[in-house]
């Protein structure tokens, strides 16, 4: 190993100047100029540009952080807009642009994500990019059979869940009873039932809150023929 101590290197002709040997660390006290311009070291600060998913519940959640200049051994923290700082449960470096993490964030709200490399260089998302919000909670009706209703009769059933308003309702899977439709804003399934033979419809309704969190519940309704119009069993 060699040591270079100098106040001035002059004169020098050619296109390059070598100080020290390969593997040496050269510390420059003060400024270092080339052709009169300050020579600044290149500092590769990490940058955080995204997370996936962007919305999670306040339970242990896997979150993929994306950006640049991530180093092995980096630490990842979530910083709430309220000031709370929460360290990731686990951090798994994938490459310089991707880190897999697991967070438990007990406080609903929005969060900045910060990555700090082992050399002390750190970077934080420019805006809050992670939202923590509970998924909708179903209130009624209970999952399962909605009973029987007569063909050619008017039918109405209201689905109710709570969560970050507004709540939207949609058919997630299955088929709605013939002759009915579901109102997204109110959760009301209504219409005049049709059919010439008894048939059981199985379907799943999805409740989606303002943060795009979802909750599903499965139901069935049997449409019968021969019952008195207007009779409905729930």
Backbone φ and ψ of 142, nearest 5°: -65, 150
Residue carrying structure tokens 């006290």: 29
Task: Name the strand (E) or helix (H) holding 182.
Answer: strand 180-182
**Residue 1: band (very low, low, confident or very high) from pLDDT cuts 50, 70, 90:** very low
The CATH number for 125's domain is 2.60.40.10
pLDDT at 232 over 60: no
CA–CA dist 35, 204 (Å, integer): 72
What is the pLDDT averaged over residues 44-49?
A: 96
Looking at the structure, tell me whether residues 163 and 207 fall in a common domain.
Answer: yes
Q: Which of 29-43, 44-58, 157-171, 218-232 has the lowest mean pLDDT?
A: 29-43
Task: Please tell me the predicted confidence (pLDDT) of residue 108.
Answer: 87
Task: Please tell me the predicted confidence (pLDDT) of residue 20.
Answer: 57
Q: Which of 21-25, 55-59, 160-164, 166-170 has the lowest mean pLDDT?
A: 21-25
Q: Three-state secondary structure along the chain?
A: CCCCCCCCCCCCCCCCCCCCCCCCCCCCCCCCEECCEECCCCCCCCEEEEEECCEECCCCEEEEEEEECCCCCCEEEEEECCCCEEECCEEEEEECCEEEEEECCCCCEEEEEEEECCCCCEEECCCCCEEECCCCEEEECCCEEEEEEECCCEEEEECEEECCCCCEEEEEEECCCCCEEECCCCCEEEEECCCCCCEEEEEEEEEECCCCCEEEEEEEEEEECCCCCCCEEC
Answer whether residue 81 is part of any domain. yes
Looking at the structure, tell me whether residues 142 and 228 fall in a common domain.
Answer: yes
pTM: 0.60
Tell which of 132, 157, 190 closes a domain: 132
Tell which of 132, 153, 180 closes a domain: 132
First vs last Cα of the chain: how many Å apart? 87
pLDDT winner (highest mean) among 37-41, 147-151, 212-216: 147-151
Omega before 171 cis (within 30°)? no
Domain that holds residue 100: 47-132
Looking at the structure, tell me whether residues 79 and 154 fall in a common domain.
Answer: no
Of 144, 143, 145, 148, which Cα lies nearest the Cα of 223?
148
Tell which of 89, 111, 132 closes a domain: 132
91 has which bridge partners?
101
CA–CA dist 221, 161 (Å, integer): 20
User: Which percentage of the chain shows pLDDT scores above 90?
Assistant: 68
Answer whether residue 2 is part of any domain. no
């Amino acid at each position: 190993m060699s040591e270079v101590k100098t106040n001035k290197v002059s004169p020098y002709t050619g296109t390059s100047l070598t100080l020290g040997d390969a593997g040496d660390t050269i510390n420059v006290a003060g400024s270092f100029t080339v052709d009169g311009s300050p020579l600044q070291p290149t500092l590769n600060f990490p940058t955080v540009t995204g997370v996936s998913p962007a919305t999670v519940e306040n339970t242990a959640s896997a979150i993929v952080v994306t950006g640049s200049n991530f180093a092995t051994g980096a630490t990842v923290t979530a910083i709430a807009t309220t000031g709370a700082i929460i360290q990731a449960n686990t951090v798994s470096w994938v490459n310089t642009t991707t880190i897999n993490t697991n967070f438990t964030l007990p406080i609903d709200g929005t969060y900045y994500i910060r990555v700090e490399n082992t050399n002390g260089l750190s970077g934080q998302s420019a805006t809050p990019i992670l939202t923590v919000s509970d998924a909708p909670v179903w209130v009624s009706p209970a999952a399962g059979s909605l009973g029987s209703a007569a063909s050619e009769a008017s039918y109405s059933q209201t689905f109710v869940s709570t969560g970050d308003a507004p709540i939207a309702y949609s058919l997630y899977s299955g088929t709605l009873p013939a002759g009915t439709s579901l109102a997204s804003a109110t959760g009301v399934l209504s219409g005049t039932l049709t059919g010439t033979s008894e048939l059981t419809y199985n379907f799943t309704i999805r409740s989606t809150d303002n943060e795009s969190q979802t909750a599903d519940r499965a139901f069935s309704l049997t449409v019968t023929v021969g019952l008195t119009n207007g009779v409905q069993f729930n």
